[in-house]
């Protein structure tokens, strides 16, 4: 492929790759996006849609070992590690536990706040530019707990988020049902987060970004990149549709990103946390805000006329098929958590959250590989973080400064 001098190759058309491509194209760069799959069809298709700008607490918090052990012994818990996969997951899990020290946790929260602050406005800008402003719904999140003791168990995480500007309003008893009549009576305590929002149709949003990019001249190559190699000052990306050449490449292949880095001698502790959703096409109720069944870690999101319940963390790698029982479990939690749901078909979905052990994505130059940039590992917050990742990375590729990205360097794993 002939290369325009300012051309950037973006590998991966998930929401992160599209966020980056959008920002690059906006700054006047020529963009080529390579992905064997249609835009927004990886993890970005079936997520809970939350734009959780204030969600700066990492997953590994002080005391994680104790709470994880408890969860692993409970078949109804949101965490599942199949025994056969444990040896493979162990090095990652060990790093995860080590990231839970108080100083590290405070550092991670500060870094995530720097990245995620302004995410809602950034998504609103993108959505308006690509003609789907109505998909960003600034309706807030209602996190529901069965009792004060359950809420108190998350006190550390809420305090951390509040310290970084998260607004929370306490709601109790009948006032919960005044806000959302369908929330079951078993929930007696809640926190309402007025500043959070959601994307009504994350896959449709991704497609709208891709369509706008194509209309502005970006080229979509419907083939994955099989290998990357450096040739002089350029990168060559081998695909089934031929070789693509670019001076700058952004690797945004989600949970698959490590596969292209390993042959270059760059190793990253990237693990998939498989997540699930259950969607009811005709739920029979209507929520006005996103409801989080916090004790079950299930996000329930209105998606058009449908209702999507998403959650669960399952280890097990990229190749195994979905474990239908995990999705059905979310369905049971949904029906126990909300009243008045209609019977009917439950559409099941599984996707791969690209997760680093410190809950922080990798964004910025790849060590020892000039012109190659990383944008992966956004874990549970890839939709939220995609817009700001794009803005900041485009600035960096254009030769500008993005100090907010320093903590996300790949060098932290060297």
**Which positions lie near ligand FAD, rule CB under 6 A?**
11-17, 34-37, 41-44, 47-50, 52, 224-225, 252-256, 260, 275-277, 299, 310, 351-354, 376, 378-384
Nearby residues of 383 by Cβ (< 8 Å), 6 or more positions away? 15, 44, 47, 49, 50, 51, 199, 202
Task: Indicate the angle between helix axes 155-163 and 102-116, nearest 10 degrees.
Answer: 50
CA–CA gap between residue 194 and residue 204 (Å, rounded): 25
Is 337 in contact with 144 (CB distance < 8 Å)? yes
Closest distance between ligand FAD and the C-beta of residue 198, in Å? 7
Rounded to a whole number of angstroms, the minimum distance from the CB of residue 225 to ligand FAD is 4
Q: Residue 182 Cβ, how far from ligand FAD at the closest point, in Å?
A: 20
CB of residue 370 to ligand FAD, shortest distance in Å = 20
In angstroms, rounded to a whole number, what is the distance separating the alpha carbons of residues 298 and 331?
A: 10
Which C-beta is closer to ligand FAD: that of 62 or that of 304? 304
Residue 147 Cβ vs ligand FAD, minimum distance, rounded to whole Å: 25
Question: Least distance (Å) from ligand FAD to the CB of residue 168?
Answer: 18
CA distance 120 to 76: 33
Least gap, CB of 210 to ligand FAD (angstroms)? 11
Residue 94 host element (H or E)? helix 86-98
Do residues 240 and 226 make contact, with C-beta atoms less than 8 angstroms apart?
yes
CA distance 389 to 293: 28
Residue 391 burial (CB < 10 Å; 0-12/13-18/19+)?
buried
3-state secondary structure of 230: strand
Report whether 126 contacts 199 (CB < 8 A). Answer: no
If the CB atoms of residues 102 and 407 are measured against ligand FAD, the closer one turns out to be 407
Question: Order of strands, edge to edge, in the sheet holding 50-51?
Answer: 50-51, 197-199, 136-137
CB 125 within 8 A of CB 388: no
Closer residue to ligand FAD, CB minimum distance, 117 or 186: 117
Strand, helix or coil for residue 367: coil
DSSP string, 157-211: HHHHHHHTT---EEEETHHHHHH-TTB-TT--EEEEETT-EEES-HHHHHHHHHH
Q: Shortest gap between Cβ of 185 and ligand FAD (angstroms)?
A: 26
Our CB check for ligand FAD shows the closer of 335 and 399 to be: 335
Q: Which is nearer to ligand FAD, 139 or 181 (CB)?
A: 139
Structure tokens at 223: 């083939």
In the complex, least distance from residue 380 CB atom to ligand FAD, rounded to whole angstroms: 5
Which CB sits closer to ligand FAD, 22 or 352? 352
Residue with smaller CB distance to ligand FAD, 152 or 229: 229
Q: Which of 330, 268, 250 is nearest to 8 (CA)?
A: 250
In the complex, the smallest distance separating the C-beta of residue 255 from ligand FAD, rounded to whole angstroms, is 6
Nearer to ligand FAD, 25 or 384 (CB): 384
**For residues 258 and 365, which CB has a smaller minimum distance to ligand FAD in the complex?**
258
């Amino acid at each position: 492929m002939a290369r325009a001098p300012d051309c950037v190759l973006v590998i991966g058309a998930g929401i992160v790759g599209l966020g980056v491509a959008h920002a690059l194209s906006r700054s006047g760069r020529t963009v080529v996006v390579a992905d064997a799959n249609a835009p927004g069809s990886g993890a970005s298709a079936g997520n809970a849609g939350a734009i959780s700008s204030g969600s700066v607490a990492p997953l590994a918090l002080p005391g994680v070992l104790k709470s994880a052990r408890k969860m692993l012994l409970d078949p109804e818990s949101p965490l599942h590690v199949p025994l056969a996969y444990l040896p493979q997951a162990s090095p990652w899990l060990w790093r995860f536990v080590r990231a839970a020290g108080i100083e590290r946790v405070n550092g991670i929260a500060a870094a995530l706040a720097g990245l995620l602050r302004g995410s809602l406005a950034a998504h609103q800008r993108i959505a308006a530019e690509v003609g789907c402003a109505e998909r960003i719904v600034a309706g807030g999140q209602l996190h529901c707990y069965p009792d004060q003791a359950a809420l108190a168990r998350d006190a550390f995480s809420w305090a951390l988020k509040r310290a970084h500007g998260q607004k929370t309003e306490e709601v109790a008893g009948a006032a919960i049902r005044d806000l959302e009549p369908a929330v079951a009576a078993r929930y007696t305590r809640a926190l309402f987060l007025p500043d959070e929002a959601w994307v009504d149709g994350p896959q449709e949003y991704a497609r709208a970004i891709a369509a706008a990019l194509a209309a502005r001249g970006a080229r979509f190559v419907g083939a994955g990149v099989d290998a990357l190699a450096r040739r002089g000052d350029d990168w060559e990306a081998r695909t089934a549709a031929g070789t693509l050449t670019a001076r700058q490449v952004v690797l945004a292949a989600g949970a698959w990103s490590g596969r292209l880095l390993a042959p270059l001698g760059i190793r990253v502790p990237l693990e998939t946390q498989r997540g699930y959703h259950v969607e009811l096409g005709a739920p029979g109720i209507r929520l006005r805000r996103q409801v989080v069944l916090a004790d079950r870690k299930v996000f329930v999101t209105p998606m058009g006329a449908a209702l999507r319940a998403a959650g669960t963390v399952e280890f097990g790698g990229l190749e195994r098929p979905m474990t239908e029982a995990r999705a059905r479990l979310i369905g049971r939690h949904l029906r126990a958590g909300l009243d008045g749901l209609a019977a009917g078909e439950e559409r099941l979905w599984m996707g791969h959250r690209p997760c680093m052990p410190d809950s922080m994505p990798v964004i910025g130059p790849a060590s020892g590989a000039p012109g190659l940039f990383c944008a992966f590992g956004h874990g549970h917050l890839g939709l939220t973080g995609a817009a700001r990742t794009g803005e900041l990375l485009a600035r960096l590729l254009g030769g500008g400064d993005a100090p907010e990205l320093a903590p996300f360097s790949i060098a932290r794993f060297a």
